Structure 1
Amino acid sequence: MPSSLNTAGLNAAAMSRLLGAWNTGAAPAYRELADVVRLLILDGRLPLETAVPSERALSEALGISRTTVTAAYASLREQGFLSSGQGSRGRTRIPELTPSGPALLGPAPPRGLQSMTAPGLAAPEGLIDLAYSALPASGEVVHRAFAAALTELPALLPGFGYDAIGLLPLREAIADRYTAEGVPTHPGQIMVTSGAQHALTIVIRTLADRQDRVLVEHPSYPNALDAIRAARCRPVPVAFAAAGWDLPALEATLAQQRPRMAYVVPDFHNPTGMAMPDSQRRRLARAAAAAGTVLVVDETLRDLNLDGVATTPVAGFSSAVVTIGSLSKSHWGGLRTGWIRASEGMIQRFAAVRTTLDLGGPMMEQLAAAHLVRALEEPLPARLQALRDNRAALLELLREHLPEWTTTRPAGGLSVWCRLPAPSSTALTVIAPDYGIRLAAGPRFGIGGAFERNLRLPFTLPPGQLEAAVLALRAAQDRLDAAPQLRRTLKNAPAVAIA
């Protein structure tokens, strides 16, 4: 299938389309060209490790002198955004920001702001927390499940209490859910974990070694990127197209780089909220199999289907797919209950690796989770309707108070991915507490500083709090607009913890 990202890299015609109307005459042409290419890299629209067109090809496509392209490429190399390549070719990259690792891995996540950024810490009292995209517990339903679990616990007390695979009633309940969705599954294909992040850590430790390539969407879930970096693997980002997943680019990257594994979130993607159609799921599963890449699918947000989008689990298109799920988003993060669905042989491999991390999850939580999985529909309708109302409220507030921001209505999930008028996401995050809110900067969702023009805003809070938050954002944006030098000063400030 044709693609702008082929074995020769990015072709000149595709580069010309990405550049758009780049030559405004406000500065020397070579400088404007370099500036626009740099912004494309930082925004994630020009993927890392992509070979740019040759000087001659690009000059012909743009109708400018080759000298101008040569000077622009030289400037990008000096700034660290283009590697030195044979002849006039080079590959996109991010300049080295720390001495801890190669630039193509991106910098290690920075340490958090004092007192408010360590993972697991709530926002200081009085702040509206928009860094976490999560819901409070489905109260009565969760309480009832634990009450039932308490009556069942005595039957387990004579045992040792260790089980690396997970409690059988819970594995049966999860397997039945997949079977009901058209993906026949038996309990031996399920491992229960302490949340989705724990599941991903087990999968990475089992499947990938240090320096192995791991394909990721760009943007992607920050904690997944952290887990990949912690394993010293090399994330290979593939940028989204304007309308969603760029399947030709994904297929080309799989075929060319043959990563050890690929991590994707096709169900109400975090942070964009988009859903991958079945036709693309089938192509992605086929391309991963052809490349020998293990496709790891995160379905944590699958149940938060706000618009009734009909899709098939990716595991329905390939028996080799590894699926991660969780009750954290649908019921409550405090449950710390997740799972892995894979072939029985793969589950045994995961179990062997898991014993180096822990010896199994707590039994009481698993008993309660079994009740919740079997009665999943009970809390969901009310929660989904509340999320629809919150989503509508947030989008209307943004249109009214921040019309210069660009938003796309997400089909599901918990958040809106906003496009800012300037690369000010980190600066907004730093000054946000002065206005009573806590944010997660766009670069936390990318590699090497990308997405400074983006901000994820969850709609998990009620409309009244969302209104207060958006008014605070308006005030913070006004402050940056009035003092652009402040934005430049704060650009490299550290980011906050995210869920």
Structure 2
Amino acid sequence: MSELTRLTAQLGDWRQRPGALVERLADALAAVIERGGLDGVRLPAERRLASELGVSRATVVHAYARLRERRLVLSRERSGTVVRSVGRRGRAPGTQLPQLHRLLAPDAERVDLAVAAPPLDELVAGIAVELGEAAELVQPHGYDPQGMPALREAIAERLTRDGLDARADEVLITSGAHEALNLITALFVGRSQPVAVDAPTYPGALELFERAGGRPLTVAGDAAGMRADALAALLDRQVVALLYLMPGCHSPTGRSIALGRRPALLELAARHDLLVVEDAALDKLRFDGPLPSLRALAPERVLRVGSLDKLAWAGLRVGWVCGPRATIARLAALKAARDLGSGILGQLAALRLLRDVDTLRVARVEQARARMEHLRGELAARIPAWRIDRPQGGWSLWAELPPDAGVDGDALTAAAARHGVDVAAGSAHVAGRERVSAIRIAYPAPEPLLTKGAERLAAAWAELAP
């Protein structure tokens, strides 16, 4: 695939953007540049790009001028138009979570296979709470930066039943698991400090680490999870701020770290006095049941992040972090300075959900497994060239594209958007946003929409790799 064809594929359905034609093209080009994939690249000559896009040369000339005004490109005589280096801290908001951009301009005709979170459905829609229920549970003013005591007690009890031996003062309530990661990052990741991560991994964590000035560094792994020898090699070379893992149910692959591999990873963390962040947001969605927590093996150095968002509904925005009391106190002080504490209504709903969370888990796992098998089957029938391993849980498939096809995940994601289906490019899940021949496909949608999404993905694939 030529660079010109690759660029036009990345532009997606740019004509559907609002505004005049010049502004639409300029905004689409700016979006590609701000994702960091064109640093230092010379853009096509105006006449060539105009011919490829089917617009006048003047349209491209004026669009390039808009990019110069935004200081995204440089134009020099005999050098053409060259993209400036955006740099990690210069990315536009949300560039590691491009699938969320669609939320700003919803389109009922599109099939959303990008957001991996369950819908508000009959499993949770009946939950109802009244503000008066908080009267005996919180201070009269309603502020509690660490979270409602009754909810922290309920979470600690649940964690203890799962083998963690947790207490309420070791739990901080957050606005989803993402805020928990945000607070941890703000407290422990400084400028230029390395953070050890999987490849692929959760793109929201990558963006948080980078915005804090940290440097996510990939540690090699395999089907059994991160390799201890690869982590040892990294820790022998440099001091790392923290180790970020999703051992119970990984996003986006749905894999788990093998139980036999975990002690070696924790021993390395202890030897190098390394803080470990255990992201357990998807653990309850493991099809064969949750695995033991890393925190149970090393409570003094593991911060466990959890959430109800992936099990119940993301609109709840209720998550938590469990860790040593002193660390939780520091995180709570930081949260107090930022927002004074999470909303009470969501916490009341979470408290009610936790009363029968096992029933919810069984029903949600059954739903997720059925939709996963349906979408995986539809894709296998239509696009057998893709490699899609069966996940052990979660809400997404990791589809690896054949390397000899010459198509990467960014180009396919853009083509899919033109065909009316949204997925997430593999590059968003890798440190440094290297091009990856893979995409992440979410399957929370009902089965008829999953079938339609598979049809549109097949059409997009046929366009790029006939």
For the 8 Å contact 1:116–1:122, the answer to whether it is kept is no
The reply on whether 1:446 has 2:427 as its aligned counterpart is no
5 Å-filtered alignment, 1:229-378, equals 229-241=210-222, 243-308=224-289, 311-319=291-299, 320-378=301-359
For the 8 Å contact 1:128–1:469, the answer to whether it is kept is yes
5 Å-filtered alignment, 1:54-453, equals 99-101=85-87, 108=91, 118=101, 120-121=103-104, 123-139=106-122, 141-144=124-127, 146-147=128-129, 149-155=130-136, 159-241=140-222, 243-308=224-289, 311-319=291-299, 320-421=301-402, 422=405, 423-453=407-437
CA–CA distance in structure 2, aligned partners of residues 290 and 349 of structure 1: 24
CA–CA distance in structure 2, aligned partners of residues 100 and 269 of structure 1: 30
CA–CA distance in structure 1, aligned partners of residues 449 and 102 of structure 2: 23
Deviates more, 1:118-127 or 1:173-182: 118-127
Secondary structure (helix, strand or coil) at the match of 1:152 reads helix
Deviation at 1:191, TM superposition (A): 0.3
TM-score by length of 1: 0.72
For the 8 Å contact 2:200–2:429, the answer to whether it is kept is yes
For the 8 Å contact 1:255–1:287, the answer to whether it is kept is no
Deviates more, 1:297-306 or 1:310-319: 310-319
Match of 1:437, as an amino acid?
Answer: V
Deviation at 1:307, TM superposition (A): 2.8
Task: Give the aligned CA root-mean-square deviation in angstroms.
Answer: 2.4
CA–CA distance in structure 2, aligned partners of residues 171 and 205 of structure 1: 22
Q: Give the direction of change, closer, same or farther, for the CA distance of 1:140–1:467 in structure 2 (3 Å limit).
A: closer
Q: What residue ranges of structure 1 are gaps of 5+ in the alignment?
A: 1-95, 483-499
Q: Give the direction of change, closer, same or farther, for the CA distance of 1:187–1:157 in structure 2 (3 Å limit).
A: closer
For the 8 Å contact 1:207–1:261, the answer to whether it is kept is yes
Secondary structure (helix, strand or coil) at the match of 1:125 reads coil
CA–CA distance in structure 1, aligned partners of residues 332 and 363 of structure 2: 36
For the 8 Å contact 2:209–2:216, the answer to whether it is kept is yes
Deviation at 1:342, TM superposition (A): 0.4
Match of 1:337, as an amino acid?
Answer: V
The reply on whether 1:457 has 2:441 as its aligned counterpart is yes
Match of 1:436, as an amino acid?
Answer: G
Deviation at 1:348, TM superposition (A): 0.8
Name segments (4+ residues, structure 1) moved above 4 Å.
109-113
For the 8 Å contact 2:171–2:323, the answer to whether it is kept is yes
TM-score by length of 2: 0.76
For the 8 Å contact 1:107–1:448, the answer to whether it is kept is no
Q: Give the direction of change, closer, same or farther, for the CA distance of 1:157–1:236 in structure 2 (3 Å limit).
A: closer
Q: What residue ranges of structure 2 are gaps of 5+ in the alignment?
A: 1-81
CA–CA distance in structure 2, aligned partners of residues 97 and 390 of structure 1: 42
CA–CA distance in structure 1, aligned partners of residues 184 and 461 of structure 2: 41
CA–CA distance in structure 1, aligned partners of residues 243 and 138 of structure 2: 40
Question: Deviation per CA, 1:358-403, whole angstroms, max 9, x where unpaired?
Answer: 1101112112211212321122222211211111111211221100
Deviation at 1:142, TM superposition (A): 4.9
Match of 1:128, as an amino acid?
Answer: V
Secondary structure (helix, strand or coil) at the match of 2:441 reads strand
Q: Give the direction of change, closer, same or farther, for the CA distance of 1:254–1:123 in structure 2 (3 Å limit).
A: farther
Deviation at 1:117, TM superposition (A): 5.5
Matched residue count: 380
Deviation at 1:138, TM superposition (A): 4.8
Q: Give the direction of change, closer, same or farther, for the CA distance of 1:193–1:107 in structure 2 (3 Å limit).
A: same
Deviation at 1:106, TM superposition (A): 9.3
